[in-house]
Structure 1
Amino acid sequence: MNAAPEELTSLVGREVYSNNGVFVGEIEDVRLDLDAQAVTGLALAQLNHELFASRVEGNTGVILPYRWVRAVGDVVLINDIIERFDTGSEEPDAEGEIEI
């Protein structure tokens, strides 16, 4: 049984959790590869400050690779890699976002 396709905009506003149940953030936008016609990332805001405190300040966000997504439903589940995220010293891009 195939489910009806959903519009990409339906992802906006959904909460993102790790597969261990840890809140990560809320989807604000999606990153697309128009040549491949594929979603490549999820732009998150309303972040879990415990996970990102050393990396994100103020009104910035993060972009998670879409390959980390395990399931999409009422919420989006991602791999628990986010909980083991290395707290290196990457710099934010020009828009204040940190790409993981």
Structure 2
Amino acid sequence: MDETIEEITTLIGHKVYSNSGVFVGEVEDLRVDLKDRREITGLALTQLNDELFSDRVEPGTGVIVPYRWVRSVGDIVLVTDVVERLKDDEDDEDGNTVVA
């Protein structure tokens, strides 16, 4: 089996925190660009922090965080400070809320 695929799937289920220690959500799925770059382009998060997202997304839905925000992956995933980035949220072509 391809080692890259195994590494990618290990991200699913990881808790995501901002680099300032704020819980953001949990990785449920990944957005992968298979056509051009064959790389992860985003993390699809659920189990979101209500304090961060309650006025932005409906309960039970998720957000996609751009993978370029990922700073570290280990037992948890650290991303750049999401609180600052929430000022520029938008929707993608599929109607998913993207924090960008």
Q: Same fold (TM over 0.5)?
A: yes
Q: Secondary structure at the match of 1:7?
A: helix
Q: C-alpha deviations, 1:19-64, integer Å up to 9, x for none? A: 0000000000000011211100000000001001110112110000
Mapped partners of 1:39, 1:94: distance in 2: 17
Mapped partners of 2:40, 2:83: distance in 1: 23
Mapped partners of 2:92, 2:66: distance in 1: 16
Q: TM-score scaled by structure 2?
A: 0.83
Partner of 1:70: 71
The count of corresponding residues between Structure 1 and Structure 2 is: 94
Mapped partners of 1:83, 1:7: distance in 2: 28
1:93 Cα deviation from its structure 2 partner = 6.4
Partner of 1:98: 97
**One-letter amino acid matched to 1:99:** V
Q: Which has the higher helix share?
A: 2
State percent identity of aligned pairs: 55
Stretches of structure 2 lacking an aligned partner (at least 5 in a row): none
CA RMSD of aligned residues (A): 2.1
**Large movers: runs of 4+ above 3 Å:** 90-95
